[in-house]
């Protein structure tokens, strides 16, 4: 798949979104190695866009099953470390349901959950090619 071509086809009419998507894709795919996790702020800097709604749309688009550049994940703090929530808890969160702390079994408050992004298949596959 030619990611550049797909982004151009999908966002030809929205130049700011097109540019944000391409900036993130080009900068991440040019890296020799990928971080385990990226925050919204880190990716917003790569997007070179000051409009948070454009950055949000770009990151969600890059996380779609069609592109798989990024993967959204949820993290929580435990003993001073940030850990990724299991997929089943992410599914609950996406439905607006209660998310359960994996270690304690208690509900996690939304303020205890951090949204982040991990490298998706396209970035990981590029690194192994």
122's CB contacts (< 8 A; 6+ apart) are: 1, 3, 29, 67, 68, 69
Specify the number of domains making up the chain.
1
Q: What is the pLDDT of residues 74-106, one digit of tens each?
A: 998 888 888 899 888 888 887 888 888 888 889
N-terminal to C-terminal alpha carbon distance within the chain: 14
Residue 80 CB burial class (10 angstroms; 0-12, 13-18, ≥19): exposed
Q: Six-digit token pair at 4?
A: 């550049």
Q: Which range of residues forms the domain containing residue 82? A: 3-128
Q: What is the pLDDT of residues 1-22, one digit of tens each?
A: 899 999 999 999 999 999 999 9
pTM of the predicted structure, to 2 decimals:
0.84
């Amino acid at each position: 798949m030619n990611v550049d071509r797909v982004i151009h086809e999908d966002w030809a009419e929205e130049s700011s979104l097109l540019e944000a998507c391409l900036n993130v894709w080009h900068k991440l795919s040019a890296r020799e190695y990928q971080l385990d996790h990226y925050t919204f702020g880190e990716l917003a800097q790569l997007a070179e866009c000051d409009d948070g709604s454009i950055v949000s749309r770009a990151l969600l688009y890059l996380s779609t099953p069609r592109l798989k550049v990024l993967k959204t994940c949820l993290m929580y703090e435990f003993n001073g470390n940030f850990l990724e929530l299991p997929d089943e808890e992410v599914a609950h969160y996406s439905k607006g349901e209660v998310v359960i702390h994996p270690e304690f079994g208690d509900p996690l408050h939304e303020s205890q959950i951090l949204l982040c992004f991990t490298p998706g298949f396209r970035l990981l596959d590029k690194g192994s090619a």
